[in-house]
Every structure is written in structure tokens, then in C-alpha cells.
């Protein structure tokens, strides 16, 4: 097993409202899925969770969301453990987009986007749905049967759904969080850029934080504020994205030769080394 070169303790001292996981250990049989994993995410930040297949990325997202409920006492949302929230309260403060969404009903796209809006008047629902559809370039699909969409169109529909959920005026007074698992995996280049530009705008203008599981290191380099690089269930490196995505860290964790191309005034580009 690779030994982590650093232990990041966070720079959120004095920040009260955040999403935080403390020392998560998760084992199935003799297999360590997560080992002493901690994370602090405050509003105004995009965190990306990186690592090779099987590193524990999706499991960590399930812990943060409360889906793995055995850890709810170790996960804190705005100073309170997840155990202190009802399901409806939690749904107003964080929205989750898993890697695969098994929706097999022929809802209209606008109806899918409205699914996360609880206790919201009809006039407000319509406005929120239209806002979210516009953000992710799916307004023209509003009246389409969800089951007739392409994979990328379905993905953008669910991005609109979770965004509408956290933009609900009922929650605007508190910090809210989006948890996204491979949210751009089916998207073309233009829509990948669009999605992260929207996320960047929302975390800057709203009381919102984002945790996104990604495989695309260049998207992470371009848009993330901070990164958690995982290997075999443990944190290998964590902190500012530029300090995590170094050649040495990437080559050690992914066991693949790369070149990190620094560009003055722009984000670094990570290129596989074919030699």
C-alpha cells in the first residue's frame, strides 16, 4: 500500500457551518473500504474526490450523504450530526446525484427536476424548475418524456434536479451542499465545461459547497478549489488542488507516467506520458 506523503488538517478553523466527516473507517469483510478518512467542506468551495477505481471515492460520498447511515454520528452538517436531522430537513440542506440514477418512469423532464422540491408552492416550483433547466441547458427538453432522453440529457436533467433542490428559497438562509458522483461522465466537452462553470458560479454567489467525485484530472485542475486524492481507501493527499495534483502524487497513486504542464496565469494540464 502506498504511504501518504502528507496529512491535511484543513484550514477551516473558525468556520462553523460546513459539511464535515471525521475519521471514517469502513470495512467489508477483511477489505478496508475507507481508512481514517476526514474531510471538511465549507460553502464557497468546490472539492473534488480523485483516485483510481476502487479507491473509496463513491463510498466516501455515500458516507457524506448519510446513505451509509452507520456513520451519521461522524458526519456533521452546519454544526449538527446527520442523526439530528429528519429526512426532509436533510433534503433541504444537501442534494445528492449518484453515479447511476435508476428512474424508470415516464415523467416529463420538468417533473423530474421538480422531484426534490419539498413543501414548495406551485408557483415557486415552476420558477425553480425553469431556473435549473436553464442553468444546465435542458429548457428545450422540459416537455420530453425522460425515458426518451440520451444518457447525457438524462445526466443534465438530474443535475438540474439537484440544483433546484438546493436553490429552494426555504433553505437560502443556511449553507447547502451538492454531492455529485461522476456528474460529467456522459457529457460532451462543451457540456462538461458548462456544468462546472455553473457550479463555480453557484458556489461563489450562493451559500453552497460542492463535493464532486471525478476521474477527469484536467477538469479538477481547471475548476476545483481543493482536492482529496485517495488510494486504497485512505487519503493520500488533500488540500489546494495545485498542491495535490503534482506529478509525483499522480504517478504514485495511479501507477501511470504523466507530465504536468504548468502555464502562467492558467491551470496546469495533466498529460499521459506515452514514452
What tens digit of pLDDT does each residue of 26-46 get? 999 888 999 999 999 999 999
Cell of 256: 501511470
- The CATH class of 18-102+174-272 is alpha beta
114: nearest Cα among 130, 98, 101, 99: 130
Q: Please state whether beta strands 31-42 and 18-28 pair in parallel, antiparallel, or not at all (unpaired).
A: antiparallel
Half-sphere exposure of 167 (CA within 13 A, CB side): 25
Residues 6+ apart with CB under 8 A from 132: 113, 160, 161, 163, 164, 167
How far apart CA 97 and CA 212 sit, in angstroms, is 9
Partners of 47 in beta bridges: 211, 226
> What residue ranges do the domains of the chain occupy?
18-102+174-272
- Residue that has been written with the C-alpha cell 488538517 in this structure: 9
Angle between helices 151-167 and 189-205 (to 10 degrees): 0
DSSP state letters, 127-186: HHHHHHHHHTT-GGGTTSBGGGS-HHHHHHHHHHHHHHHHH-GGGTTS-EEEEEESTTTT
Report pLDDT digits (tens) over 169-200: 665 667 899 999 999 998 999 999 999 999 99
pLDDT at position 5 is: 40
- For every one of its 275 residues, what pLDDT tens digit does the chain have, with 9 covering 90 and above? 444 443 333 444 445 689 999 999 999 988 899 999 999 999 999 999 999 999 999 999 999 999 998 898 999 998 899 999 988 888 889 999 998 877 888 899 999 999 888 767 777 888 999 999 999 999 999 999 999 999 999 999 999 999 999 887 665 667 899 999 999 998 999 999 999 999 999 999 888 999 999 999 999 999 999 999 999 999 999 999 999 999 999 999 999 999 999 988 889 999 998 76
**Residue 83 cell numbers, joined:** 442523526
Amino acid at each position: 500500500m502506498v504511504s501518504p506523503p502528507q496529512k491535511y488538517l484543513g484550514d477551516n478553523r473558525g468556520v462553523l457551518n460546513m459539511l464535515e466527516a471525521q475519521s471514517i473507517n469502513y470495512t467489508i469483510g477483511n477489505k478496508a473500504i475507507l481508512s481514517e478518512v476526514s474531510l471538511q467542506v465549507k460553502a464557497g468551495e468546490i472539492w473534488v474526490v480523485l483516485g483510481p477505481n476502487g479507491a473509496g471515492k463513491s463510498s466516501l460520498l455515500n458516507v457524506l450523504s448519510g446513505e451509509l447511515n452507520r456513520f451519521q454520528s461522524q458526519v456533521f452538517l452546519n454544526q449538527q450530526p446527520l442523526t439530528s436531522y429528519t429526512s426532509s430537513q436533510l433534503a433541504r440542506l444537501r442534494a445528492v446525484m449518484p453515479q447511476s440514477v435508476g428512474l424508470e418512469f415516464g415523467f416529463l423532464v420538468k417533473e423530474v427536476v421538480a422531484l426534490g422540491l419539498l413543501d414548495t408552492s406551485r408557483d415557486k416550483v415552476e420558477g425553480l424548475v425553469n431556473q435549473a433547466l436553464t442553468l444546465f441547458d435542458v429548457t428545450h427538453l422540459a416537455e420530453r418524456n425522460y425515458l426518451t432522453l440520451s444518457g447525457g440529457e438524462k445526466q443534465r436533467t438530474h443535475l438540474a434536479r439537484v440544483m433546484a433542490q438546493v436553490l429552494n428559497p426555504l433553505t437560502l438562509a443556511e449553507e447547502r451542499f451538492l454531492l455529485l458522483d461522476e456528474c460529467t461522465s456522459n457529457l460532451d466537452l462543451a457540456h462538461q465545461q458548462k456544468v462546472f462553470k455553473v457550479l463555480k458560479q453557484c458556489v461563489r454567489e450562493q451559500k453552497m459547497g460542492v463535493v464532486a467525485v471525478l476521474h477527469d484530472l484536467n477538469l479538477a485542475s481547471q475548476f476545483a478549489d481543493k482536492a482529496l486524492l485517495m488510494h486504497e481507501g485512505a487519503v493520500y493527499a488533500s488540500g489546494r488542488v495545485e498542491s495535490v495534483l503534482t506529478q509525483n502524487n499522480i504517478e504514485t497513486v495511479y501507477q501511470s507516467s504523466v507530465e504536468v504542464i504548468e502555464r502562467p496565469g492558467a491551470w496546469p494540464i495533466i498529460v499521459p506520458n506515452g514514452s
